[in-house]
Amino acid sequence: MKTSIALIGFMGVGKSAVARVIADKLNKQLVEVDSVIVKKSGKSIIQIFNEGEIAFRELEIQAIKEISEKRNQVISCGGGVVLNKINIDRLKQDSLIIWLTASPRVILKRVRLDKESRPLLKADSKTSDIAELLRFRRPFYERAADLKIDTSKMEIQSVADYILHKLSENEDFSSKK
């Protein structure tokens, strides 16, 4: 039986906020992959990206490796975790993978206030830029996901409630610690 869940999806779909609610409800450890990377490297995400995206992806692979060794977690993944298959293979050992989506317009609205900490978005990023990156990434998310939820018209709490309901029906998942 799996004892963890991993939330994947594009920036701004609500992974962190939803993960917080679910972890609290299931009494499991909340893990933010980006925070693990920042803590381990002693650098901000922006600083790491300044050394190149590959440097960031290497740290991300290392962080996922360590996280995957533990159980009973709710893992909020950075938007690009799916780009390296090894990450998904490792997460799948103990996690159900839940893909949160939203329309490019909703994503732009949600990330508007927080673009500075997201090196892949520029101050003048448009809906079409987000749509293009989403189009490229969609097959990666699709391949990884056990469950997909379009959050465009949903509040955080309803997304969390929906996931909790699905988990309670899933025979491969143990909500007990």
Nearest approach, Cβ of residue 167 and ligand S3P (Å): 22
Nearest approach, Cβ of residue 170 and ligand S3P (Å): 24
Long-range contacts of 61-66 (CB under 8 A, 24+ apart): 61/86, 61/87, 63/33, 63/36, 63/37, 64/33, 64/90, 64/91, 65/90, 66/36
Of the candidates 35, 158, 84, the residue with the CA atom closest to the CA atom of residue 149: 158
Nearest-angstrom CA–CA distance, 85 and 17: 25
Binding string to ligand S3P for residues 72 to 111, with x set by CB under 6 A, is what? ------xxx-------------------------------
Binding string to ligand S3P for residues 112 to 141, with x set by CB under 6 A, is what? ------xxx---------------------
Nearest approach, Cβ of residue 96 and ligand S3P (Å): 19
Which residues are at the interface with ligand S3P (CB under 6 A)?
A: 11, 15, 34, 45, 78-80, 118-120
